[in-house]
Amino acid sequence: MSQAAPSRTIQIGHSPDPDDAFMFHGLASGQVSSGDFRIVQVLKDIESLNRLALEGSIEVTAVSIHAYAYLADRYALLSCGASMGDGYGPLVVARSAVGIDDLKKMTIAIPGTLTSAALALRLALGEVRTEVVPFDRILDRVARGEVDAGLLIHEGQLTYAAAGLHRIIDLGEWWKQETDLPLPLGGNAVRRDLGEQTVRSLGRLLRASIEHGLDHRAAALTYALDYGRGLGRSLADRFVGMYVNDYTLDYGTKGRRAVELFLQRGHEAGIIPHPVAVEFVP
């Protein structure tokens, strides 16, 4: 007797970067069964995924915690899949070692207005001039002098020095000093209208995939290298270790508090126009 085909197609969005790929390896490789679901990967940069979620056109997706402020009516945050920078995070870099006062006078390339990095930048520096540039082009544009400074996410946080650039501020370090909390960068959002049972099932699937990656690190890292944009294995392993950790398996009390405070500070600063009620499931 043949096995019944999966009954429901679920799109799951994630960024084409090593840490997200590492987390998804279990499902992508078939080592973690998708059960009754047919999982379709949607690979896009985080700002594009934010926009898909704003449209409500994707069932589960990685999103910026900043963007979640505008999604909370339609999506909840799964308890697993968080990207948290505990004392480290997105970096602002420039071609010379300028001070913060000089940085505030510059135009800073950012990877998207809804990214958590962009919110952290405004919380740290106040109103600054920005220019939206695809995340994987920021480092090169700063190095060529086409923009004064750049806000780096993903692997650029580890490779900027090789391009001759200088770190001006680490926003994760700044946030830790301000709050003694990790900086919440990304999470997995799930559409509420899928229903409680489906939401919980998807949460279990994604957690199982993350656990599989952590338990089979070498294989998951090999898979993640395809998304490393030239990162060697050692740097990719370091990068994955920065953003796939205990907070990724579950936000925990401290992680949940970090998300709530980050969005609260954004509202208090007038960046987010409304207070945000955060819901974590399951």
* Mean pLDDT of successive 10-residue stretches along the chain, which has 282 residues: 63 90 92 92 92 96 97 96 95 96 96 96 96 94 97 89 95 98 97 95 95 94 82 87 92 97 98 96 84
**Same domain for 118 and 58?**
no
Q: Is the peptide bond before 16 cis (omega within 30 degrees of 0)?
A: no
**Same domain for 199 and 269?**
yes
**Same domain for 73 and 188?**
yes
**What range does the domain containing 129 cover?**
91-179
Q: Which of 25, 154, 166, 267 is catalytic?
A: 154
Q: Tell me the pTM.
A: 0.92
Helix (H, G, I), strand (E, B) or coil at 261: helix
**Same domain for 80 and 212?**
yes
Torsion-angle region of 115 (φ positive above 0: left; ψ -120 to 50: alpha; else: beta): beta
Token pair, residue 127, equals 């109103």
Q: d(Cα 21, Cα 269) in Å, to the nearest integer?
A: 34
**Same domain for 277 and 197?**
yes
Token pair, residue 78, equals 């799964």
Q: d(Cα 92, Cα 95) in Å, to the nearest integer?
A: 11
Domain count across the chain: 2
Q: What is the pLDDT of residue 2?
A: 40
Report the CATH number that the domain containing residue 152 is assigned in CATH: 3.40.190.10
Q: What is the pLDDT of residue 1?
A: 35
Q: d(Cα 61, Cα 260) in Å, to the nearest integer?
A: 20
**Same domain for 210 and 254?**
yes
Inside any domain, residue 1: no
Of 110, 248, 267, 112, which Cα lies nearest the Cα of 184?
248
Which of 146, 179, 212 represents a domain boundary (last residue)? 179
- Catalytic annotation present for 154: yes
For the residues of 153-210, what is the DSSP string, one character each?
-TTHHHHGGGGT-EEEEEHHHHHHHHHSSPEEEEEEEEEGGG-HHHHHHHHHHHHHHH
Q: What is the pLDDT of residue 7?
A: 73
